[in-house]
């Protein structure tokens, strides 16, 4: 039998965007917009991305990086307060291995003429397949993708 382990960890990432809270919130709420910054990117092959953005609804994504193993992300929306807060639970798998289960809160706070996003994740990282530092780094990169997308869209407006 394989030895099992769980590493519990929490992290908080803050970003400030030059967009109003309603605009930043919409980038999480609208599946077409979220797919652009969350799932698409060089080297990523998206097999599935869909979301039912409502309390009790789910988000499901299936993707590979450069033809590698299938990565799965299954999310349930636990709480939604428009333009203010989203709380989700999600689990991730690589191939047949569940690598983590997390509770995540995103808070959208007015800041000057933009938004301060406070992203808090509490995770259980399983059997050495994933680790908190890697997840925090990856999440930070995704939030940077969001910022770049918001900046491009605002330059076009």
Specify the pTM: 0.94
Burial group, residue 142, by CB count within 10 angstroms (0-12, 13-18, 19+): middle
- Sheet of 58-65, strand order: 6-17, 114-126, 97-111, 85-94, 71-81, 58-65, 44-51
- Counts for the chain of helices (H) and strands (E), in that order: 3, 7
Q: How confident is the prediction along the chain (157 residues), in pLDDT tens digits per residue?
A: 468 999 999 999 999 999 999 999 999 999 999 999 999 888 899 999 999 999 999 999 999 989 899 999 999 999 999 999 999 999 999 999 999 999 999 999 999 989 999 999 999 999 999 999 999 999 999 999 999 999 988 887 6
What's the Cα-to-Cα distance from 101 to each of 8, 14, 113, 157, rounded to whole Å? 10, 21, 35, 38
- State CA 35 to chain mean position distance: 10
């Amino acid at each position: 039998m394989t030895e099992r382990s769980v590493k519990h960890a929490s992290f908080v990432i803050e970003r400030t965007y030059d967009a109003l809270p309603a605009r930043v919130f919409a980038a999480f709420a609208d599946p077409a917009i979220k797919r652009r910054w969350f799932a698409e990117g060089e080297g990523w092959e998206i097999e599935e991305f869909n979301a039912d953005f409502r309390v009790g609804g789910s988000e499901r994504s299936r993707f590979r990086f450069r033809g590698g193993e299938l990565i799965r992300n299954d999310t349930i929306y636990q709480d939604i307060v428009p333009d203010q807060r989203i709380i989700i639970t999600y689990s991730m798998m690589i191939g047949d291995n569940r690598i983590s289960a997390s509770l995540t809160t995103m808070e959208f706070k007015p800041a000057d003429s933009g938004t301060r996003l406070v992203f808090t994740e509490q995770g259980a990282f399983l059997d050495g397949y994933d680790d908190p530092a890697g997840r925090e780094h990856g999440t930070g990169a995704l939030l940077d993708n969001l910022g770049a997308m918001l900046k491009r869209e605002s330059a076009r407006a």
